[in-house]
Amino acid sequence: MDQLLVALDVESGARALQLADQLRGVVGGYKIGKRLFTLEGPPIVRALTERGDRVFLDLKFHDIPNTVAAAIAAAASLGVWMVNVHASGGRRMMEAARDAARESAAREDRPAPLVIGVTVLTSMNAEALAEVGVDRPVAEQVRRLSRLARDAGLDGVVASPQEIGLIREDCGPAFSIVTPGIRGGTAVVSGRDDQERTMSAREAILAGASYIVVGRPIVGAADPRAAAQRISSEC
Ligand code: C5P
């Protein structure tokens, strides 16, 4: 299923490539996060993009516009399909990211990566927001940053399952919503789990998610390919 992105949250590039080989054809792409990228760097990204895989480089850039633009251009030259930035970096930073994605891809004659905004980290509640000077409910801040991301020309946002509805309503059908926190239905993990406020893959797609990001229910399964197939068919 094209909308199913697998978080390759593993300890080595070798394991990531092994998983990607098992899952190819069943899933829509692979998310590489800070741990795998810090351990293995650009070669793991290139290894996947050169195999024709879609890579979501989840490094959540947040810096001055010029620095973020340069980082986005570097990501585009690795051939990534999706990359993200913190929407709280502001309109100018997001516009610079969007322009860099388009310009560097055009220079290299490849499609521009999708640039996605991160609104409010799901680890933050109203109290944590207040501590950094944001005195409004989490949902309102998510709404505000999603609109800002759309107005700055980003392709979409990362959103928890609970936020899909309000963002879809505000930002329209063409805006991409990328949703982690998928549990239940056929997405199960054995043992302790830290995800709260979850939805099943099917519920998230029905609520309006454009893409779902699933990690442990697939990468931690005894048979990752079968787990991915079950999640796709549920949707
Ligand atoms: O293993 P699991 O399915 O929980 O993986 C979800 C992935 O999405 C992880 O890489 C996690 O870091 C990421 N993520 C998340 N919640 C967010 C943002 C990102 O779970 N709010």
pLDDT tens-digit readout, 152-205? 999 999 999 999 999 999 999 999 999 999 998 889 888 778 877 789 999 999
Asked if 208 and 164 count as a contact pair (C-beta separation under 8 A), the reply is yes
Protein residue with its CA nearest to atom 13 in ligand 1: 180
Going by the DSSP 8-state scheme, the letter that residue 87 receives in this structure is G
Q: What share of the chain is helix, strand, coil (3-state, %, to 5)?
A: 50, 15, 35
Q: Is the CB of 119 under 6 A from ligand 1?
A: no
Ligand 1 atom 10: residue of nearest CA: 7
Instruction: Enumerate residues 6+ apart whose C-beta is below 8 A from 55.
Output: 29, 30, 31, 32, 45, 48, 49, 78, 79, 80, 81, 82
- In the predicted model, is pLDDT for residue 14 greater than 80? yes
Q: Is the CB of 198 within 6 Å of ligand 1?
A: no
Please indicate whether residue 7, judged by its CB atom, sits closer than 6 Å to ligand 1: yes
Start-end of H helices in the chain: 13-23, 34-40, 42-50, 65-77, 91-107, 126-131, 138-151, 164-171, 201-207, 216-219, 224-234
By the 10 Å C-beta count (0-12 exposed, 13-18 middle, 19+ buried), 197 is classed as exposed
Catalytic residue list: 60
> What span, in angstroms and rounded, lies between the C-alpha atoms of 235 and 115?
25
Tokens read off for 70: 């340069």
Sign of the dihedral defined by the CA atoms of residues 31, 37, 38, 39, in that order: positive
CB distance 122 to ligand 1 below 6 Å: yes
Q: Which residues pair with 117 in a beta bridge?
A: 85, 157
Mean pLDDT, residues 44-64: 98
Residues 199-233 have pLDDT tens digits of: 999 999 999 999 999 999 999 999 999 999 999 99
Instruction: Report pLDDT for 197.
Output: 75
Q: What confidence score (pLDDT) does residue 35 get?
A: 97
Mutate to test the pocket of ligand 1, among 213, 214, 219 (most ligand atoms within 8 A of CB): 213
Phi, psi of 55 (to 5 degrees): -115, 125
Ligand 1 centroid – CA 83 distance (Å): 15
What 3-state DSSP class applies to 221? coil
pLDDT single digits (tens) 91-114: 999 999 999 999 999 999 999 999
CB 4 within 8 A of CB 179: no
Contact 78, 46 (CB under 8 A): yes
